[in-house]
Amino acid sequence: MRDIKIFACNTAEKFTEEVCSYLNLKMGEKDSYKFKNDNNFVQFKESVRNQDVYLIQTTEVPVNERIMELLITIDAAKRAAAKRITVILPYFIYARTDKKDQPRVAITSKLIAKLIETAGADRVITCDLHNSAIQAFFEIGCDRLTGSYLLVDYFKKKKLKDMVVVATDAGSSKKAYKYSKLLNCPMALIDKRRDNNDDKACATNIIGNVKDKSALIFDDEISTGGTLIEAINICKKHGAKEIYAGATHGIFAGDAIERLDKSCVKEIVVTNTVPLEEKRKIDKIKVISIAPLFAEAIRRVNEGKALGDLFLYEK
């Protein structure tokens, strides 16, 4: 690897340290803080001139603060004459606002894409977008990694008996089918209804057999937990022996963790794309690191190699 420097935004230090450890590199040094007037300040403490610069930002709340810090950091790198600036967003900010599905609303994920471009980024690497079409919002390169193989590998090692992958609704059936093929087990489908703009999901029936089986529920992210809890309840109602959940992004908004802890789910497995504070961790939640996957993507980009193999579970 040549002429490379990796920097962490304020809440991404731990994730960045894992990436740098994998690559046997030292994390770059910079200052990032606020003035008394609430304005952000970013300064690199070392030269980035003609360097291949990687800026890592996670999505710990407050989210809007993370966006502003990232944009200022990109601009600072650009003005410091970095050769190439790659933004690493393990979880893409505002990813769920990806279409104009109501009158007079913004497509915020596209706005974020344009802001990152305008600030001066040359490339973005992210993971398991809510909608893969978000990649088309960029005029610069946007690579989308996946945490699927990590989740599949984790559950394969558990050697659960009589597994069935359960799709939370018709929209997630394609995703569930992929997991069922990788785990070599059948799938079932929950018939679910969602009303208006609220986060309340109502599961009404299940197509397929979960009785006396280990039910596995996969999704890209767990936010309020409403969809997952409804799925857990209906699996339990239909006689599932054990219920597990897996997601790339553990958002756990609001009281999601408390509600999930009270549910009958046995284990929830997520990656560390979004930091989970120690005080919020519970025994039911297992966090596995996806940092090595991003580290390998950084290595390949720096060396001019293809990323295609990173999308294959076998690799």
The candidate with the shortest Cα–Cα distance to 190, out of 156, 229, 221, is 229
Asked about 175 being catalytic, the answer comes back as no
Q: Of the listed 192, 284, 305, 315, which one is catalytic? A: 192
Q: How far apart are CA 270 and CA 280, in angstroms?
A: 14
Q: Show the 3-state SS of the chain.
A: CCCEEEEECCCCHHHHHHHHHHHCCCCCCEEEEECCCCCEEEEECCCCCCCEEEEECCCCCCHHHHHHHHHHHHHHHHHCCCCEEEEEECCCCCCCCCCCCCCCCCCHHHHHHHHHHHHCCCEEEEECCCCHHHHHHCCCEEEEECCHHHHHHHHHHHCCCCEEEEECCHHHHHHHHHHHHHHCCCEEEEEEEECCCCCCEEEEEEECCCCCCEEEEEEEEECCCHHHHHHHHHHHHCCCCEEEEEEEEECCCCCHHHHHHHCCCCEEEEECCCCCCHHHCCCCEEEECCHHHHHHHHHHHHCCCCCHHHHCCCC
Active site residues: 192
